Amino acid sequence: MTALPHPLITVAVEAGPRTVRLRIGGDLDYDTSGELAAKAETCLGAHGPDDLHLDCADLRVCDSMGVSTLLLIHRSCAARGVRLHLDAPPPFLERILAVTGIRHLFETTAADEQPEQAHADEGSGPAAPAMYGLPPRTPSG
């Protein structure tokens, strides 16, 4: 068997007094999502943070199992009263979150995020269509 030149996923933990940051690199998929879920659960239990940041700047791939893992981490954070942040999500991840209708579950921090965009959709539903190039919602009927 040939060894892979690089790990499929890397998850580096940076713990502060009330904040934990997990820096995710590589592929978040069926084969690797268990590692992220386990590290997140360990950090939530051991550190008791107020905020959990998932730094996605180096994420290359996220499949349906990766999305499921993000939802699992969200549920675990919500049960503990911990705010979950997705930091620097790549465009492909933003698109996945928007299309699946789960974008509203995650606080995000992006270097190019405009303050007016961050609050443009408050109170109008689970996704921000204008932010993602989608047509605005129309009332049904």
**pLDDT tens digits for the chain (141 residues)?**
566 566 799 999 999 999 999 999 999 999 999 999 999 999 999 989 999 999 999 999 999 999 999 999 999 999 999 999 999 999 999 999 999 999 999 988 765 543 333 333 334 344 433 333 444 445 554
Q: Which homologous superfamily does the CATH classification assign to the domain defined by 9-132? A: STAS domain (3.30.750.24)
Helix or strand run (H / E) with residue 31: none
> 50 and 34 in contact (C-beta within 8 Å)?
no
User: What pLDDT is recorded for position 5?
Assistant: 61
User: What pLDDT is recorded for position 108?
Assistant: 80
User: What pLDDT is recorded for position 7?
Assistant: 78
Q: Where are the alpha helices (DSSP H) in the chain?
A: 33-47, 64-80, 91-100, 115-118
Residue from 46, 53, 42 nearest 19 by CA: 53
User: What pLDDT is recorded for position 130?
Assistant: 39
